[in-house]
């Protein structure tokens, strides 16, 4: 055997041996962050993962709110080929845990002291029978109203603080030829507006009873009739092309002055920021009229997979996700605030400061509530039953009285 061949062969064997001992962490990551602001945010995680020697395989499934991503996930798990890491949140984490397909990431949580840096309300969502089964990235707020600053000032309108003011402002804008409410007619967007209206009109106790406790009397109450009445009024404030429009295209309508307002979680702010818009200058943020704070915590769950490289990838990802630097940079881009309590907010804008303050105040006042529309309050079947009614009402001339009856029936049948 000539010596050249020996040395090449030896080198190859050595490389293989080194590869087996130090397999690079691998992660196939399923998520639905595909808009401008979202893509910029998730890129931060990918960069940190690559920077630590990991190999990231991206599996983005477009579709706001994640319905399409969850369908893709089900198909992958059924086929016995689960992705390594999945954007998953709220009770869906527990639902997948009960299927026996989630990996335990308690070792990372303990080594990095998650219990000391995450508020208990967030940590509880990440635990499955006492083990850590998900890693939180942020706190998004749902009950926001976004506005084009110029359009408001040109029309002599201030950010509305009551629903009556909102309706009056919207009527004035409509008369001036501006679309009052930028909206995309997709079921989850209808549900997003609906839960903000429900909290605003009914208050925190009403929201809790209706969308957390599923109390039948509250679901068909006179207050719920008023909520649907306001939804009917809102329907009159959207343009005729709203059907099927993606949420970020609705945000773009506010950016370019075609529309005045959008009611959407603060991932909309991520979109304004990615387009170079400044809060308080180009766009305005305010909580939707009424008390309370609807939270939506994005998180990642790791699915049971084979192979040291993939398992290492899961542990590395979990560590990075709750890492202090990631929580800052990701959330500066995403429009949300960090899940960790020890990340300084100095570099964050005024909307983020409002969010942090309102979250703390509503936590004290008992009005910090999980979003039903974004999968934090209910399991899939119940949330889906409510959203079906909300969207059927919004897209027809159904009366509010019929809607509340249908709502109570749909929820009862889903239990």
What residue ranges bind ligand BGC (CB under 6 A)?
Answer: 32, 38, 64-66, 140, 267, 296, 298, 374
Q: Distance between CA atoms of 227 and 222, rounded to whole angstroms?
A: 9
The distance of closest approach from Cβ of residue 72 to ligand BGC in the complex, given in angstroms and rounded to an integer, is: 14
The distance of closest approach from Cβ of residue 111 to ligand BGC in the complex, given in angstroms and rounded to an integer, is: 27
The distance of closest approach from Cβ of residue 379 to ligand BGC in the complex, given in angstroms and rounded to an integer, is: 16
The distance of closest approach from Cβ of residue 282 to ligand BGC in the complex, given in angstroms and rounded to an integer, is: 20
Q: Distance between CA atoms of 71 and 15, rounded to whole angstroms?
A: 40
Nearer to ligand BGC, 38 or 319 (CB): 38
The distance of closest approach from Cβ of residue 162 to ligand BGC in the complex, given in angstroms and rounded to an integer, is: 27
The distance of closest approach from Cβ of residue 320 to ligand BGC in the complex, given in angstroms and rounded to an integer, is: 17
Q: Distance between CA atoms of 250 and 146, rounded to whole angstroms?
A: 11
The two most distant CA atoms of the chain are separated, in Å, by 91
**Phi (first) and psi of residue 263, to 5 degrees:** -105, 115
Nearer to ligand BGC, 125 or 310 (CB): 125
Nearer to ligand BGC, 32 or 283 (CB): 32
Strand ranges across the sheet with 140-141: 140-141, 293-296, 368-370
Q: Distance between CA atoms of 405 and 66, rounded to whole angstroms?
A: 28
Pair of tokens at residue 368: 């910090």
| 212 DSSP 8-state letter | T
Q: Whose CA is closest to 54, among 298, 311, 281?
A: 311
Closest CB to ligand BGC: residue number: 267
Nearer to ligand BGC, 140 or 310 (CB): 140
Strand pairing class (179-181; 131-132)? unpaired
Nearer to ligand BGC, 64 or 160 (CB): 64
Nearer to ligand BGC, 118 or 294 (CB): 294
Coil, helix or strand for 39?
helix
**Planar angle of CA 134, 64, 319, nearest 5 degrees:** 25
């Amino acid at each position: 055997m000539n010596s050249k061949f020996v040395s090449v062969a030896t080198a190859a064997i050595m490389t293989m041996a080194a590869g087996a001992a130090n397999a690079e962490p691998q992660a196939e990551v399923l998520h639905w962050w595909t808009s401008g602001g979202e893509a910029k945010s998730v890129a931060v995680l990918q960069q940190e993962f690559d920077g630590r020697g990991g190999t990231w395989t991206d599996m983005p499934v477009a579709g706001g709110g994640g319905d399409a991503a969850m369908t893709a996930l089900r198909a992958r798990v059924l086929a016995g080929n689960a992705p390594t890491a999945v954007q998953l949140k709220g009770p869906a984490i527990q639902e997948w845990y009960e299927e026996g397909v989630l990996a335990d990431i308690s070792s990372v949580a303990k080594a990095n002291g998650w219990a000391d840096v995450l508020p208990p309300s967030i940590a509880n969502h990440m635990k499955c029978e006492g083990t850590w089964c998900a890693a939180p990235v942020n706190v998004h707020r749902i009950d926001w109203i976004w506005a084009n600053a110029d359009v408001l000032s040109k029309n002599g309108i201030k950010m509305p603080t009551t629903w009556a003011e909102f309706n009056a402002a919207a009527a004035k804008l409509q008369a001036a030829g501006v679309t009052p409410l930028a909206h995309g007619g997709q079921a989850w967007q209808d549900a997003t507006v609906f839960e903000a209206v429900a909290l605003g009109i009914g208050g925190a106790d009403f929201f809790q009873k209706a969308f957390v406790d599923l109390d039948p009397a509250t679901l068909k109450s006179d207050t719920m009739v008023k909520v649907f009445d306001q939804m009917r009024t809102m329907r009159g404030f959207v343009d005729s092309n709203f059907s099927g429009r993606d949420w970020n295209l609705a945000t773009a309508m506010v950016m370019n002055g075609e529309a005045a307002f959008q009611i959407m979680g603060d991932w909309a702010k991520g979109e304004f920021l990615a387009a170079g818009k400044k809060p308080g200058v180009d766009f305005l943020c305010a909580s939707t009229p009424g008390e309370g704070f609807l939270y939506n915590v994005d998180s990642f769950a790791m699915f049971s997979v084979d192979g040291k490289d993939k398992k290492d990838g899961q542990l590395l990802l979990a560590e990075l996700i709750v890492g202090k630097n990631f929580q800052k940079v990701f959330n500066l881009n995403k429009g949300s605030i960090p899940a960790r309590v020890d990340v300084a907010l100095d570099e964050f804008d005024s909307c983020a400061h409002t969010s942090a303050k309102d979250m703390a105040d509503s936590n004290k006042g008992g009005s910090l509530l999980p979003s039903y529309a974004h999968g934090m309050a209910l399991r899939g079947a119940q949330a889906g039953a409510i959203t079906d009614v909300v969207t059927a009402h919004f897209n027809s001339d159904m009366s509010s009285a019929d809607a509340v009856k249908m709502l109570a029936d749909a929820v009862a049948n889903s239990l």
